[in-house]
Copies of this chain bind each other. A is one copy, B any other.
């Protein structure tokens, strides 16, 4: 990951799109969901009822539009801050459950699937600068980790969890939550996922995690 500097630079560039521009990005997203592979400029223009010239003016080129779309979507997910003070077993459990539920809900959602497909498809051909894979990684996996870590560390401090590397603990938790779900949905396996099933899966993962890392 030598793109951290690049990503920082991008991060500082504000995503202050106008309403109309957000409409265009939403149109791109909807098209992406329908078929992430065959996305064309004329297709986006038609869907958004705008001209190709406008697309090029606003986003530079095709890649710019796609990157903007990915980052726009990323900017839509809110991260609610979390206070690590006064950690109790009930609270830790609730935080873990919420995290697992959110993660499964997002990963199996059509938007996440479409964007991951897009990013994976061209993760290798990042000849010139920005490649979408790192952006998705940053806003996906690499943003969820640091978000949960404080809770894990607070849990260790409070004697609820065994002392261990919190990064490693998080990765194991991630594995217990996601298992083979992500790769299966990405490859087109149409797994049914009701709210109930996700909740059950989250429960299981949290229980297993406490088995492994509980004090």
Contact = CB atoms under 8 A, between A and B. Distances in A.
Interface of A: 1, 35-38, 114, 116-117, 119-126, 131, 133-134, 136-137, 140-141, 171-172, 174-180, 182-184, 186-190, 208, 211-212
B117 A123 contact: yes
A175 B120 CA distance: 20
A124 B131 CA distance: 22
A141 B180 contact: yes
Given A136-B187, A183-B183, 20 more contacts: A36-B124, A37-B124, A37-B125, A116-B120, A116-B187, A117-B124, A120-B121, A120-B186, A120-B187, A123-B186, A123-B187, A123-B188, A133-B186, A134-B189, A137-B189, A141-B183, A172-B179, A175-B175, A175-B176, A211-B211
Contacts of A187: 116, 119-120, 123, 133-134, 136-137, 140-141
11 contacts: A35-B124, A35-B125, A36-B121, A116-B187, A126-B188, A133-B186, A134-B189, A137-B187, A137-B188, A140-B183, A182-B183
Nearest to A185: B123
A38 B127 CA distance: 12
Contacts of A171: 179-180
Contacts of A134: 187-189
Given A120-B121, A134-B188, A172 B208 contact: yes
Contacts of A122: 37
